[in-house]
Amino acid sequence: MKNYLPLFFIIFLCFEAYAQNKYFSRDGKISFYSKAPVEDIEAHHNQVSSIINMENGDIVFSMLIKGFQFEKALMQEHFNENYLESEKYPKSVFEGRITNFNDLDLSKDGEYDLKITGQLTIHGVTKEYSTDAKLKRTGDKLQGTCTFKVKVADHKIKIPSTVVDNIAEVVDVNVDIVYQPYKK
């Protein structure tokens, strides 16, 4: 047993290292845009929380569906009540990783092109997504931005035929998150 003692130390050191290499945000921005023949709809969320593990490139997002702000209150109500059913499925979660993490040295200041793959859950339906993203490092600050498309039907969000011209089948999603080192 004595022989393993140094190993335990190493393990604990690893824990330390993990904690230090996490970057966190609680006020990330995600917005989506729906362009349809009758009207364009956009909604903004300013309280997305996210963590990047700079040790292995793991990345997670979590947000409350109710946090999306629309210009029209009625739209916001319908979004929650009829489309996303936010009382039944309150959160949207993404669990993924930076697939080209090992090819990059993200410890230096600069802009990097990332490839991200992971599982995105919206409306209780999980689907795999892959997208390109950018990460900009300035000292201790990381800014991640990304744009991708979500097909509404992929997440079993039903659009009735009466409003089919008002809501796009595919919405554009923009992500813009500024991370700071995570402190417990």
- Rounded to whole angstroms, how far apart are CA atoms 62 and 124? 13
Cβ 65 to another protein shortest distance, Å: 11
Binding mask of the shown chain, residues 81 to 100, with x at each position contacting another protein by CB under 8 A? xx--x-xx----x-x-x---
**Of these, 9, 13, 20, 26, which contacts another protein (CB under 8 A)?**
26
Contacts of 136 (CB under 8 A, 6+ apart): 110, 111, 112, 142, 143, 144, 145
Q: Which residue has the tokens 């600050």?
A: 141
Q: How far is the CB of 119 from another protein (least distance, A)?
A: 9
Amino acid at 97: R
Residues 28-57 that bind another protein (CB under 8 A): 47, 49-51, 53, 56
**Between 18 and 129, whose beta carbon lies closer to another protein?**
18
Task: Select from 27, 62, 5, 15 the least CA-distant residue to 176.
Answer: 27
Residue choice 6, 7, 108, 139 for contact with another protein (CB under 8 A): 7
Shortest distance in whole angstroms from residue 173 CB to another protein: 19
- Among 29-37, 58-66, 126-134, 146-154, the segment contacting another protein (CB under 8 A): 58-66
User: In angstroms, what CA-CA distances link 179 with 24, 80, 129, 136, 150?
Assistant: 5, 28, 22, 10, 24
Our CB check for another protein shows the closer of 58 and 172 to be 58
- Residue 89, class by beta-carbon neighbours within 10 Å (0-12 exposed, 13-18 middle, 19+ buried)? middle
Residues near another protein, by CB under 8 A: 1, 4, 7-8, 11, 14-15, 18, 22, 24, 26, 47, 49-51, 53, 56, 58-62, 64, 66, 71-74, 77-78, 80-82, 85, 87-88, 93, 95, 97, 158, 160, 162-163, 166, 182
